Amino acid sequence: MAISSDSSKQPLITKTLIKCMSCDYSIERDFQEGDFVPKLVGTCPKDGGKLYIAGIYAIKLQPQQAKR
Amino acid sequence: MLFDIFNIVAMAQGLGGSSSSEFLLTTILYIVFMGFIVASFFPGFQQKMQIGFLSRDVEKNLYMIEGYLKDSKSMAEKLLKDKNFPEPQQFINKVMERFVIDPVNIEPTDIISRMKLLLRANEDTVREMITKYSPNIDPMTRSQIEISAEVVNALNMIFKIIRHYLLMAKKLNSIMIMYQLQMVAPIYVKLAEAYARAQKVFLQGIPVGDGLGPLVASRFLMNINDKWVPSKDIIAGTMEFEGRRLIVVKAEGPMATVGTPGEAVQNIIEKEGSKVSRIITVDAALKLEGEDTGSIAEGMGVAMGDPGPEKIAIERVATKYNIPIDAVIVKMSMEEAITEMRKEVYDSADKVVNYVKDLIRERTKPGDSVVLVGVGNTAGIAQ
Ligand SMILES: [Zn+2]
């Protein structure tokens, strides 16, 4: 069937990107339920600025990661 | 493994050893083969065979769609049970068969207001059904139930229509209907799969590809403290941008809703009047096969996938005050639009923010007012 050849069959993993409001600090972690843009999630370890969720997105799992 | 197979083959050969049984087998095969050739001369035999093959193919697709429908129903049921909803089964059966009848279109006068009434009233009725069963429900859960109801309803419709044509083709023995059905069925399987996945994504509160517009609006709104509600399920905020008054509009998140952006823009511009010199709409748009996900394009008009009422509200108010409407779109497939936002689309959001800023600098003067609308479903994106 034509469907199985689709790239959408590739497994996706959802990530949450956290950024600092005052410096260039950013960290990517796995998505947790309750996350939303632009929720405040603590203070920056670098300069104590406010950390916020800048984005939630899905990335394709690398083949070697998918096998694990 | 390979040796096992050889052993089995050898055993099978060993079983049919005697020559009389071999002769019998050859004769039977011969008779079946000849009978097949003779039968194929009779008119209709080939067609019957072909219908048989085609219908089996369609049935396979139909089972897949039914599977997605069942998954979606049980997911909705689980959600309702978790939220202590009384009689979830009854509620699901009720919303599953819901429909909205199109307004009469041979008399086009006021068709938009009639359509708006029907669509709004339908939404409100489903919402009332939910709040009646569960009066203290939080808006997040309510929007999740609404989305689940929509998905179950859509999957049920796809399933019933494919089944209808399959049964009709069988009943009428029509190879032409069967051929057409066999051609379109895989497309609907794909659509059903996307819907079922979309429900899962919405229930987790993950932004979808269609959330691109709200995400862009959120980038502006997150620095604004003074926000108001210009229409149902919509949030707006005003900020100063290089001497311009920028009014940003998006659906109220992080609940899964598209809101009523048309009515919001209408209300805002009616209040601001001719001070508004530009309307900018940002939305996700369907790409053609071969186009890149996340590519940005720009044009004129209201970028909005709406049945009509919201879009026309912007067009009408823009016409009244003679305001040009810019459309900035980010391309993605149907599936990417209703499931998890892809990284490519997320990356485009920040590019669109800069794109919109450039557009404002180029096409408006300091002192002007500009309305920016982030169109789309705002699940997982607040402001
Ligand atoms: Zn910092």
The answer, yes or no, to whether ipTM is higher than 0.90 is no
The first and second tokens of residue B171, run together, are 């009943």
Is some CB atom of chain B closer than 8 A to the CB atom of A37?
Answer: yes
Residue B285 lies inside a defined structural domain of this protein:
yes
- A56 at B interface, C-beta within 8 A: yes
Specify whether B327 is located in the same domain as B226: yes
Q: Is residue B119 domain-shared with residue B247, that is, in the same domain?
A: no
State which amino acid sits at residue B26: T
Binary contact (A12, B204; C-beta < 8 A):
no
Please tell me whether residues B137 and B197 are part of one structural domain. Answer: yes
Q: pLDDT of B100-157, one tens digit each? A: 998 988 888 888 889 889 999 998 999 998 888 888 888 888 888 999 999 999 999 9
The answer to whether B233 touches B252, Cβ cutoff 8 Å, is yes
Structural domain count of chain A: 1
The pLDDT, as a whole number, for residue B225 is: 87
Per-chain residues with Cβ under 5 A from ion ligand 1:
A 20, 23, 25, 44, 46-47, 49
Q: Is residue A27 part of a domain?
A: yes
How many residues would you count in chain B? Answer: 383
Does B222 map to a domain? yes
State the residue range of the domain holding B20. Answer: 2-39
Segment B187-202 shows an average pLDDT of: 92
CATH code of A44's domain: 3.30.1330.30
Q: What is the pLDDT of residues A17-50, one digit of tens each?
A: 999 999 999 999 999 988 999 999 999 998 989 9
Residue A3: which of B189, B206, B253 has the nearest Cβ?
A: B189
* Residue A48: domain span: 11-60
State whether B240 and B307 are in the same domain.
yes
Q: Is the CB of residue A50 less than 8 Å from the CB of residue A22?
A: yes
How close B370 gets to chain A, by Cα (Å)?
Answer: 24
- What mean pLDDT is reported for chain B? 89
Q: Where are the alpha helices (DSSP H) in chain B?
A: 2-15, 19-39, 45-82, 88-96, 111-133, 139-172, 175-204, 212-221, 261-272, 309-321, 334-338, 343-363
Of the candidates B193, B190, B167, the one whose C-alpha atom is nearest the C-alpha of residue B67 is B193
Is A28 contained in some domain? Answer: yes
Q: Please check whether residues B194 and B56 belong to one and the same domain.
A: yes
Amino acid residing at B266: Q
Distance from the alpha carbon of residue A20 to the mean position of ligand 1, in angstroms = 5
How many domains would you assign to chain B? Answer: 3
Positive/negative CA dihedral, B100, B284, B215, B204: positive
Distance A27 CA to ligand 1 centre (A): 11
Q: Reduced to 3 states, what is the DSSP secondary structure of residue B276?
A: strand
Residues B255 and B184 in one domain: no
pTM to 2 decimals?
0.83
What order of strands is seen across the sheet that includes strand A12-20? A26-30, A12-20, A50-60, A40-43
CATH code for position B265: 3.40.50.1470
B193 and B52 both lie in a single domain: yes
Give domain status of residue B110, yes or no: yes
B314 and B330 housed in the same domain: yes
B residues 151-180 closer than 8 Å to A (CB): none
Tell me the CA distances in angstroms from B353 to A40, B130, B212, one per residue in order.
21, 37, 11
Query: Number of residue pairs across A and B with CB atoms under 8 Å?
Result: 66
Residue B380, in any domain of the structure = no
Nearest CB among A1, A3, A37 relative to B207 is that of A37
Chain B's closest residue to A2, CA to CA, is B186
> Could you give the dihedral angle defined by the CA atoms of residues A30, A13, B295 and B364, in that order, rounded to the nearest 10 degrees?
-30
Between the CA of A19 and the centroid of ligand 1 the distance, in Å, is: 8
B21 and B112 together in one domain? no
For residues B286 and B172, membership in a common domain is answered with no
Query: Does A5 reside within a domain?
Result: no
Residue B381 maps to a domain: no
A56 to chain B nearest CA, in Å?
Answer: 7
Q: How far apart are the first and last CA of chain A?
A: 28
> Residue A63: its pLDDT value, please?
64
